[in-house]
Amino acid sequence: MKYTVIRSNVKPARWWDFVKFLAIIIALSFNTFAVTEVAAGSSKAAEKAKAMKPFKHLSKESATCASCHKKENPGVYQQWGRSKHFGANVGCYECHKAKTSDKDAIRHKDFVISVIVSPKDCAQCHKSEVDQFSKSHHAKAGEIIGSLDNVLAEVVEGMLSFNGASPVAVNGCWQCHGSEVKVLSNGDLDPATWPNTGIGRINPDGSRGACTACHQRHEFSMRQARRPESCGKCHLGPDHPQKEIYDESKHGINFYANVDKMNLNSSKWVPGEDYDAAPTCATCHMSATSELPITHDVGDRISWTLRPAISEKIDAKAIKMGKKVKPWLDRRKDMKSVCNSCHSSKTISNFYEQFDSLVNMYNDKFAIPGNKLMKLLKKEKMITDTPFDDNIEWTWFFLWHHEGRRARHGAAMQAPDYTQWHGMFEVAHRFYTEMVPEIKELIEHAKEKGNKKSAARVQKLLDEILNSPAHSWYLGKIPDDVKAKRKADREKFNKRYLQDGK
């Protein structure tokens, strides 16, 4: 491997930088492997090297599987043949072998195997990746059974007509979030739950997740895992369009223009050393940098959670529950150090101020007031406890779950069109032209039914919100300072651009 650039430091050089530089030069001239590992020099690296050590021969069992499957499923055989596993003599049996006591074990020819190769199986050789993954939100993505959206799949959109499951969940939700894989009494895998490579799959051995969600079998190629499309299977669409956002961002533009220079198959992949055109999703959320190791916990570098109606810092829930987790500031510091491979720290801290300003404004102007209104409507029994039977529940859901998330995600990952036209514009439209009129209607309705007290309480809250400085324009009461600024801006604009009477 050729190292073209040694990461130049934006800070003025200090004597120990010079020593480090010398050390790297010496390391390179002895053709030592990764620069990062020289720096890390930890027992972790040693542990990993042990795990990734190839076997001397292909086992007898695996040779038997392969010789028969070469004819049975030539596609599988070819893919495996191109994989690093093949080169390391990791064969079919090493991954698929099972104990007779395993819930999903099947007797197959002369062997006991399971079709599912769970994170627990991969952990025989990739323990640190599995440990990191297992504590991530990804591993918990199968726990959506009780969620609000699940009512949509099981009740509103679908019904429990397929082995006790809703075909909407089976073919929709679970293919991204993961199913709970069930073994039927005859030993077969329940077709309602398999095939499935959802990211939080609940496996028969009790482990969580599917490494194949990102590492497609049987090549397990780095090139494929690092591309944005790997994440884009799930992270797209009206409620979390990260893939579309990336494609529209300057990062996406540069990635697609320079994909041949991205060095995607390299085993060491550090921005600024092995590539520099653009970061992919993996770069920012997972990959190693000159300062950070690879992480399989995708929450490791994000400071907000933008999924709920009201965004909160990613550690807020854990703190409330008295649990200790990596603080949001440390996560942000790590993300900033990723950016720092290609940007100055000033650019990045300004970017974070822009991003935070949008999230906070969305929270204050729409999410917090909207949430209060919805809670009060429910408390006053002006809407029922049944989710999605009242029009306004759909209105509110569109506002935060689709449009509000799009705006926040657009700001997080540099897609102005998602922040503005697919985002805040839609949020405002939804709030003023649907939510407010629908609340007024509910108030009238409550009055007609003689529920005057509830109607008055909701009216009072609505008035308070609409009379607050952020919303009073809607009542024709633009605050004087805002009015004066708009007027001055308009005059300036006219003078500058419309002087020749166009």
Near ligand HEC by CB under 6 A: residue from 35, 165, 306, 435: 306
**What's phi and psi for 304, nearest 5 deg?**
-105, 160
Which member of 34, 35, 58, 65 binds ligand HEC (CB under 6 A)?
65
Residue whose C-beta lies closest to ligand HEC: 299
Is there binding between residue 208 and ligand HEC (CB under 6 A)?
A: no
User: To which residue do tokens 């998602």 refer?
Assistant: 418
Residues in the chain: 502
| Distances in whole angstroms, Cα of residue 194 to Cα of each of 106, 108, 188 | 15, 19, 10
Binding residues for ligand HEC, total number by CB under 6 A: 126
Strands 106-108 and 111-113, how do they pair? antiparallel
**Stretch of 20-28, 35-43, 286-294, 467-475 contacting ligand HEC, by CB under 6 A:** 286-294
Q: Does 465 bind ligand HEC (CB under 6 A)?
A: no
| Candidate segments 291-299, 374-382, 457-465, 472-480, binder of ligand HEC by CB under 6 A | 291-299
Distance CA 333, CA 331 (A): 5
Interacting positions 83-102 with ligand HEC (CB under 6 A): 84-85, 87-88, 90-96
Question: Which positions from 18 through 47 interact with ligand HEC, judged by CB under 6 A?
Answer: none
Whose Cβ is closer to ligand HEC: residue 117's or residue 442's?
117
The minimum distance between CB 471 and ligand HEC, in angstroms, equals: 26
> Under the criterion CB under 6 A, does residue 167 sit at the interface with ligand HEC?
no
161 binds ligand HEC (CB under 6 A): no
Return the number of the residue (108 or 452) whose C-beta is nearest ligand HEC: 108
Build a one-symbol-per-residue string for 350-369: x at contacts with ligand HEC by CB under 6 A, - elsewhere.
Answer: -x------------------
Q: Which is nearer to ligand HEC, 165 or 373 (CB)?
A: 165
Residue 194 is a binding residue for ligand HEC (CB under 6 A): no
Query: Which listed residue (25, 52, 316, 482) binds ligand HEC by CB under 6 A?
Result: 52
Distance CA 187, CA 182 (A): 10
- What is the number of other CB atoms lying within 10 angstroms of the CB of residue 395? 20
Window 215 to 244, contacts with ligand HEC (CB under 6 A):
215, 217-218, 220, 222, 225-226, 228, 230-235, 237, 240, 242-243
Q: Give the H/E segment covering residue 305.
A: strand 304-305
The verdict on 305 binding ligand HEC (CB under 6 A) reads: yes
CB of 291 to ligand HEC, least distance (A): 12
Specify the DSSP class assigned to residue 202.
B
Q: Is 325 in the site for ligand HEC (CB under 6 A)?
A: no
Q: How many CB atoms lie within 10 A of CB 5?
A: 9
Q: Which two tokens stand for residue 237?
A: 């669409």
Spatial distance between the Cα atoms of 225 and 141, rounded to a whole number of angstroms: 19
Q: Is 283 in the site for ligand HEC (CB under 6 A)?
A: yes
- Contact in structure between 115 and 76 (CB atoms under 8 Å): no
Find the part of the chain contacting ligand HEC (CB under 6 A) among 205-213, 317-325, 389-397, 453-461.
205-213
Q: Which residue has the tokens 């020749």?
A: 500
Q: Which of 179, 193, 197, 363 binds ligand HEC (CB under 6 A)?
A: 197
If one asks whether residue 141 binds ligand HEC (CB under 6 A), the answer comes out as: yes
Q: Is the peptide bond before 218 cis (omega within 30 degrees of 0)?
A: yes
Q: What are the beta bridge partners of residue 180?
A: 202
Q: Residue 81: is it exposed, middle or buried by C-beta count within 10 angstroms (0-12/13-18/19+)?
A: middle
Task: Tell me the closest approach of the beta carbon of residue 273 to ligand HEC, in angstroms.
Answer: 10
Among 32, 42, 73, 391, binds ligand HEC (CB under 6 A): 73
Residue 285 lies near ligand HEC (rule: CB under 6 A): yes
Decide if residue 127 touches ligand HEC (CB under 6 A): no
Q: How many CA atoms lie within 13 A of 58 on its CB side?
A: 15
Establish if 442 lies at the interface with ligand HEC (CB under 6 A). Answer: no
Which of these segments, 7-15, 28-36, 110-118, 417-425, binds ligand HEC (CB under 6 A)?
110-118
Task: Please answer whether residues 249 and 414 qualify as being in contact, where contact means their C-beta atoms are separated by less than 8 angstroms.
Answer: yes
Are 193 and 182 contacting, i.e. CB atoms less than 8 angstroms apart?
yes
* C-alpha span between 139 and 306 (Å, rounded): 18
183 binds ligand HEC (CB under 6 A): no
Beta strand 304-305 with 312-313 is: antiparallel
Q: At closest approach, how far in Å is the CB of 180 from ligand HEC?
A: 14
Q: What is the dihedral of CA 473, 477, 478, 484, to 10 degrees?
A: 160
**Collapsing DSSP states into helix, strand and coil, what is residue 420?**
helix
- Tell me how far apart the alpha carbons of residues 119 and 123 are, in angstroms, rounded to a whole number: 6
Cis peptide before 119 (omega within 30 of 0): no
Q: Judged by CB, which is closer to ligand HEC: 143, or 461?
A: 143
The interface with ligand HEC within residues 389-418 (CB under 6 A) comprises 409, 412-414
